[in-house]
Structure 1
């Protein structure tokens, strides 16, 4: 716990990142969401990283990669100008500011693109993280992922104060 990580960096997504980002995605779900989702729900969610569709979603959005010493440790994607579509951090670096660094960057990019606010459909696991950053709950959602129901919360943050 008390160990200091080398300084993280950000870079854009590259197509060759897909396998490593899929591994981060599944590890994050498997190891960090167990208190909020059942094993069956986690399995259905992790299956989203299988096949070509995962890479297509990453490529369709503005996806940033957080790295430590050149190795990806997390990623986040901005859909359009105003929606955080994905935010996943490897469990080994969870709690070390990687997610905050990624969201800070997406908030700046969204503001620079003219967005007045930013939304996210936060998992129950991530809801507290976003609330601490000034996002407020707008509505609860039940979504179907590979025939399993999962709950999340649409949250919103006004960006005007930061500009």
Structure 2
């Protein structure tokens, strides 16, 4: 499967696909780790134009499998892997691994020796397998609901 996964830069025309991936991933994958009320609070994009601006304003990538959007990720200017979501139909086939590899390549190019993320309960095991360590657990509020996530980092030597 790995050779069928294409990672390419995010473009302005990718906003709708990334929103769909984000919403479906939360509703169909993260729903096993969070309550229905938490999922309802988290799985919203209130301003699609602001969403698109955030993605285009930083290094961001789309993963495609056979030409279909399968996942996306981005990297902020301070080394935060801000978002990484994989479409439910493409879970466990290497999409997140390939996206992370691309994020790490960009981080090295920018001179980062550390990247960090705020991983959901769902994503924490993936990041741990990839060498990230938990710095702390935290509760973030989304529309009146507290959601547990984990501040994690990976340091490169």
Counterpart position of 1:56: 53
Aligned match of 2:110 in 107, 110, 113? 113
The question of whether the paired residues in 2 share the 8 Å contact of 1:41 and 1:150 is answered with yes
- Superposed structure 1 runs of 4+ greater than 6 Å apart: none
Shift of 1:5: 7.7
Secondary structure (helix, strand or coil) at the match of 1:47 reads coil
- In structure 2, stretches of 5+ residues that fail to align are none
Is the alpha carbon distance of 1:31 and 1:38 closer, same or farther for their aligned partners in structure 2, counting shifts above 3 Å?
Answer: same
Matched, 1:76 2:70: no
Question: Are 1:127 and 2:124 counterparts?
Answer: yes
Q: Output aligned runs, 1:4-83, within 5 Å.
A: 7-48=4-45, 50-83=47-80
Residues 15 and 48, structure 2, Cα contact 8 Å, conserved in 1: no
Name the stretch that deviates more: 86-95 or 76-85. Answer: 76-85
- Counterpart of 2:101 (choices 87, 101, 104) is 104
TM-score (norm. length: structure 2): 0.93
Shift of 1:40: 1.2
Q: Paired residue for 1:140?
A: 137
Aligned CA distance change for structure 1 residues 49 and 72 (closer, same or farther; 3 Å): farther
Deviates more, 1:71-80 or 1:48-57: 48-57
Q: How many residue pairs align between the two structures?
A: 157
Q: Matched residues in 2 for 1:122 and 1:85: separation?
A: 9
Find out whether 1:89 has 2:81 as its counterpart.
Answer: no
Report the equivalent of 2:147. 150
Contact 1:22 1:49 in 2 (8 A): no
Q: Which sections of structure 1, spanning at least 5 residues, go unmatched?
A: none
Partner-residue secondary structure (3-state), 1:79: coil
Deviation per residue, 1:88-137 (Å, 9 max, x gap): 00011100000000001101110111001110100010000000001000
How big is the shift at 1:14? 0.9
Deviations, residues 47-80 of structure 1 (Å, cap 9, x unaligned): 1365322212212221100011222110001011
